[in-house]
C-alpha cells in the first residue's frame, strides 16, 4: 500500500518538504512507515552539531583524563 494513502495530507506535505531535493517522492511513497520516521528525524536534525554521544572531545574531557592515566587512548 502507498505511504501517501496511509498518512494524513499534512504529514505527507511535511515529509515531502523534509526530503525535498534528497529523496524522490515515488521512493518515499514505497517506504515502510517506520523507516520513513527514522529518515525524517535524521534529515530534520541540525547539521551544525553532532549528537551528544558523537562528540569525542567532550566525551574525553568528561572522563577527566582517567583513560590516559591508565594508558587508554
15-54: pLDDT as tens digits: 889 888 888 989 989 988 888 888 887 787 776 766 666 6
Considering only residues 63 and 46, tell me which one the structure prediction assigns the higher pLDDT. Answer: 46
Enter the DSSP assignment of 19. Answer: T
Instruction: Give tens-digit pLDDT for 1-26.
Output: 899 999 999 999 988 898 888 889 89
Whose cell is 572531545? That residue is: 57
Considering only residues 30 and 55, tell me which one the structure prediction assigns the higher pLDDT. Answer: 30
**Residue 58 structural domain:** 3-69
Q: Is the pTM of this model over 0.85?
A: no
Domain count, the chain: 1
Q: Is the pLDDT of residue 65 over 80?
A: no
Enter the DSSP assignment of 45. Answer: S
Amino acid at each position: 500500500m502507498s505511504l501517501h494513502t496511509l498518512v494524513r495530507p499534512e504529514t505527507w506535505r511535511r515529509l515531502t518538504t523534509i526530503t525535498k531535493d534528497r529523496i524522490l517522492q515515488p521512493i518515499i511513497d514505497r517506504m515502510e512507515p517506520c523507516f520513513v520516521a527514522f529518515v525524517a528525524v535524521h534529515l530534520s536534525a541540525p547539521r551544525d552539531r553532532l549528537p551528544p554521544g558523537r562528540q569525542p572531545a567532550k566525551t574525553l574531557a568528561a572522563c577527566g583524563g582517567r583513560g590516559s592515566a591508565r594508558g587508554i587512548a
